Amino acid sequence: MTRHLITSAIPYINGIKHLGNLVGSQLPADLYARFQRARGNEVMFLCATDEHGTPAELAASKAGKPVAEYCAEMHDVQAKIADGFRLSFDHFGRSSSPQNHALTQHFAGQLNKAGLIREVSEKQMYSPADSRYLPDRYIEGTCPNCGFESARGDQCDNCTKQLDPTDLLNPRSVISGSTALEERETKHLYLCQSQMRGQLQDWIDSKTDWPVLTTSIAKKWLNDGDGLQDRGITRDLDWGIPVKDGEADWPGMEGKVFYVWFDAPIEYIACASEWAEANGKTEADWQSWWRTDLGADDVRYTQFMGKDNVPFHTLSFPATILGSGEDWKLVDYIKSFNYLNYDGGQFSTSRGRGVFMDQALELLPADYWRWWLLSHAPESSDAEFTWENFQTSVNKDLADVLGNFVSRITKFCRSKFGEEVPAGGSHGPQEQALIAELTTRIRAYEGFMEAMEVRKSAQELRAIWVAGNEYLQSAAPWSTFKTDPEQAAAQVRLGLNLIRLYGVLSAPFIPDAAASLLAAMQTEDDTWPDDIAAALSALPAGHGFTVPEVLFAKISDEEREDWQNRFAGTRD
């Protein structure tokens, strides 16, 4: 049995995330985690809030709260929303945890021993109006690469080019808006990524099964221009992990903290340590997931993220792991996603554009959103959320196909046979043909899920639902009942067993609805089907059931129009 270590890119603490963030990392990671658990594999699914750096300080300042208090409150908010979307994390941690402090400082010490950290005197923007140095995200300006006028000092959101604050044209302070900025000298630590270029190149080249999106971005950053550059890992900020060489003070680095992109990926590892402490586990328990010298040889590690996070996870974080010289687990597979746009524009947390996770849950239950987002996941190219498409998908896929099947078969059985699985009859050619089709489709579904092909998995699952509807329409037990009640009983019995099977197969996508199906069939048997014929006989004659409430309500034109008007691209 393979053990699956799964991590989702950790969301920034600065506010509630939008649907584009959700589908780009956490939601497909949850889909994969649920599927692997359903197949009987052991899973460790980890995520956390990314709490350091400029975004946290700016958001806390805007909220009028101390940054530590703000982060604690927003972690609870994000955890609650994640639960609302049924994200099945084994632990949802915090990058500000004591575990991440200790581990980040440990890695810095190991990298320093290996000669992979150097001290650099550099010019940095200073704002006399704010009486402070301005780290990357405290500065905005025009991107020198694409001309985007609101590029940040670390990266351009428009073209994704990595930047330094001094690269920006017409820079201004995010705090005060002042353009009277000065360059002053300060000292920082740099991770010598350039020394590891060959090792990283060989590692990336060995990942022949990675998505094209992942490898193309990694190789672009590795080879374009001057190639892989050394990168600063410290900042002049108050909030963050203090710069230490292991447990010792780092001379000359007093008052500085580690750069958020150095400590944030390390939180993936620290999160497992947090999990151990929260659940009464030992250090050996969590290290068996992360240390190849302590039992992690049988672990397959998969990361999920949006394309903007790929460079740090294919280069900077692996440089940290490899450079430490210790036996830490490296990622085996990186599933990356393009962007989900919103109704002709872009989602943007900082600019308040699009539907945000809390708003989505106020409108409809999580399964509606999970289904649409996963079935339209931006895998091969950017995708776009429109209210018309959302309405169509919910109504046709969830209400007309799955919901309609469940309603018709349970209500017909109740009217003719009562609320228990009827006895009599046997499988004929139609039933055998359905079993053969389902066997083929379920094996294909499993293959797509294993390969993390999210859209194809959704398409195959929908086809499995459609097969049940087509059988029901063709077999027409309501007509059969008039001439051959026993055969009608066999058809209904198969249909009721299909409901249980749909509950099992659909759980990774729509867990609440799947649980409702199993509850209606009065069973806790969620065994993944190896033998489809056997699975379609799991509920024997005489087994009781109930007719469930409407599984999915249709979205009306009036509701759609109202939501289009309410969410026209801004957030109050």
**What is the DSSP code (8-state) at residue 24?**
I
The DSSP element (H or E) to which 126 belongs, if any, is: strand 117-127
Coil, helix or strand at residue 492: helix
Q: How far apart are CA 481 and CA 486, in angstroms?
A: 8
Instruction: Give the pLDDT confidence score for residue 225 in this predicted structure.
Output: 61
Residues in the chain predicted with pLDDT less than 70, given as ranges, are 225-226, 348-353, 569-572
Q: How far apart are CA 339 and CA 347, in angstroms?
A: 9
Coil, helix or strand at residue 355: coil
Looking at the DSSP assignment, which residues form a beta bridge with residue 110?
A: none
**What is the DSSP code (8-state) at residue 398?**
I
Instruction: Give the pLDDT confidence score for residue 132 in this predicted structure.
Output: 81
Q: Do 517 and 503 touch, CB atoms closer than 8 A?
A: yes
Annotation: binding site: 143, 146, 156, 159, 349
Instruction: Say yes or no: do domains 3-109+261-364+379-384 and 386-535 share a fold.
Output: no
Q: How far apart are CA 47 and CA 278, in angstroms?
A: 14
Annotation: binding site for Zn(2+): 143, 146, 156, 159
**What is the DSSP code (8-state) at residue 65?**
S
Q: How far apart are CA 445 and CA 42, in angstroms?
A: 20
**What is the DSSP code (8-state) at residue 255?**
T
Instruction: Give the pLDDT confidence score for residue 571 in this predicted structure.
Output: 44
Annotation: binding site for ATP: 349
Q: Is CATH 2.170.220.10 the right assignment for the domain spanning 112-232?
A: yes
Looking at the DSSP assignment, which residues form a beta bridge with residue 151?
A: 141
How much of the chain is in helix, strand and coil states, percent to nearest 5? 50, 15, 35
Q: Do 389 and 342 touch, CB atoms closer than 8 A?
A: no
Return the beta strands (E) in 128-246 as ranges. 132-133, 139-142, 151-152, 169-173, 182-191, 231-232, 234-235, 244-245
Q: How far apart are CA 130 and CA 134, in angstroms?
A: 9
Pick the CATH number of 386-535 from 3.20.10.10, 1.10.730.10, 3.40.50.1220, 1.10.287.610: 1.10.730.10
Instruction: Give the pLDDT confidence score for residue 566 in this predicted structure.
Output: 84
Q: Tens of pLDDT along 168-184?
A: 999 999 888 999 999 88
Compute the half-sphere exposure of residue 61: CA atoms within 13 Å on the CB side of its CA: 12
Helices and strands: H and E segment counts in the chain:
22, 19
Listing from the earlier edge strand, what are the strands of the sheet with 139-142? 151-152, 139-142, 169-173
Task: Give the pTM.
Answer: 0.92
Sort residue 64 into left (φ over 0), alpha (ψ -120 to 50) or beta: left
Q: Tens of pLDDT along 353-401?
A: 689 999 999 999 999 999 999 999 999 999 999 999 999 999 999 999 9
Domain boundaries, the chain: 3-109+261-364+379-384, 112-232, 386-535
Looking at the DSSP assignment, which residues form a beta bridge with residue 235?
A: 257
Q: How far apart are CA 325 and CA 257, in angstroms?
A: 23
Instruction: Give the pLDDT confidence score for residue 553 in this predicted structure.
Output: 97
Q: Which CATH class is domain 3-109+261-364+379-384?
A: alpha beta
Instruction: Give the pLDDT confidence score for residue 350 in this predicted structure.
Output: 56
